[in-house]
Every structure is written in structure tokens, then in C-alpha cells.
Amino acid sequence: MNLLSSRTRPHVNNSRPLALSERAETFFHRPRSWIARLDWATVFGSAAAIPARVEVDLGAGDGGFVAERARRHPACAFLAVERLLGRTRKIARRAARLDLANVRVLRIEASYAVERLLPPHSVDAITVLFPDPWPKRRHHKNRLLQTSLLDACARALKPNGWIAIKTDDSAYFAHIRAAAAASPLLQLWNDATAETLLPEITDFERDFLKEGRPIHFLALRPRERAACAASVPGASSPRC
């Protein structure tokens, strides 16, 4: 399936090749409405069909992780959500340079994307890698991963979907585990490992590993649907 249709490209002079910056623009998704749920066929430019598998990377940084994962899984569709303009441009340029037709970039706050834009029961995986730990106590309220956000993620997941989280901050990891334990919609996926679920690593993780920092990993699955997921063919496999 060609996830990047011609109708998603800007009108340009076809007599010359597109510059990298022009090609990068085609990887941005700018919704017509910021209050309506996303339509995956529209996001990925496939009028004929919704992508079979959709993964969402929250706080995608410069896009190193999502680009590598998209390269390894060309049949999957990947939405990189990032708030900072400079970072979104880096993600789009990387996707254009690598010709990753299965990547789209959405510039918006991660919490708003999850709570207001992701369609219910439509996402196969949500990744949150090395979010800002906001270490000062008075700033803890600014942390992305709260029980309310995790519940919103759960509502966006398909029955056999999952959430994967990594952080190098031990205090934040304890906070995340507590937030997950308080969620009525999620449970720990104890059998999942970072090596099998997310073999791709971010630039942050690569630097942290060089420094000898421990990397904390947590995987979650929908609580009320976890039992039935085992009966879904291929549900136990996190890969495409």
C-alpha cells in the first residue's frame, strides 16, 4: 500500500526535482479541524483504505526513533507528535531524506493529541520515550504521564494494543508506575521487554547508555481487553 498518495503533495512545478525542504512539507499533517478526531486514511493519504497498523510516538524529538522504526516496518503507519517547531522540521526532513512514506508529523501538544484527536480503539501502539521529568516538586503537575493521560491513551488503543515508556529518571519512573497502577483501564504487560518490543533506540538513550545511566522500561496493555487479546491471531506479537 502506498501510504503517501499524490493528493497529499503540494502543487509544485514537476519539471524540476523537489528540494528537501519542499519534500519535507509533504510529511506534515495539518488537520482541517483541530477539534475533530483524526481519520487515518486522510492522515496517511490513502483514500482506499485505513492503514492496517498505526503507531503514535508522543514527544518524538528529532525523529531518530520513529524514522528507524518506520524504516524497519514499512507496512506500518507512524504518527510523530511533537510540540516544538524546530524538532518537527527535523523529523520531516529526516523522513523526506529517507523517503519514509509511512511517516507523518503532527505539531501539537502530546496531551491534546491523545485526548482530543486520536480516534478511539484505532491505535496499535503508543510510545513515550524519555519525556521531560520535571524534577522539581512544584513542577510535577507539568509531567506528561499522569493517570488521566494514560487513561486517554487506553481509550485510543485497539484491543491488542500497547503503550511503551522509557525514562532514565528513577523518580519519574516511580511516578509513572504509580500513575499506571491508579488507572482503571490499564495493566502492566509484565512479559514485554524493551529488547523485543522496542529494539530501536533514541539518540537520548544512546547517550545515556554511554554514560552508564540505567534505562527504565514499562509496558502497559488495556485492562478489560487484555484477556481477549490473547485469542486474537498475532496479538502476542508487537511487530508488524
- CB 202 within 8 Å of CB 90: no
Burial of 66 per CB tally in 10 Å (0-12, 13-18, 19+): buried
C-alpha distances out from residue 46 to 6, 14, 77, 213, Å: 10, 22, 11, 42
Catalytic residue among 57, 62, 124, 132: 132
> What DSSP string runs through 141-156?
GG-S--HHHHHHHHHH
Residue 212, CA distances (Å) to 112, 176, 205, 240 in order: 34, 22, 10, 31
Which cell numbers in the block locate residue 74? 514499512
H or E stretch covering 204: helix 203-210
The sign one gets for the Cα dihedral 100, 104, 108, 114 is: negative
Answer yes or no: 132 catalytic: yes
- Extended beta strands in the chain, E state: 54-58, 77-82, 103-107, 123-129, 157-167, 186-188, 216-222
Residues taking part in catalysis: 132
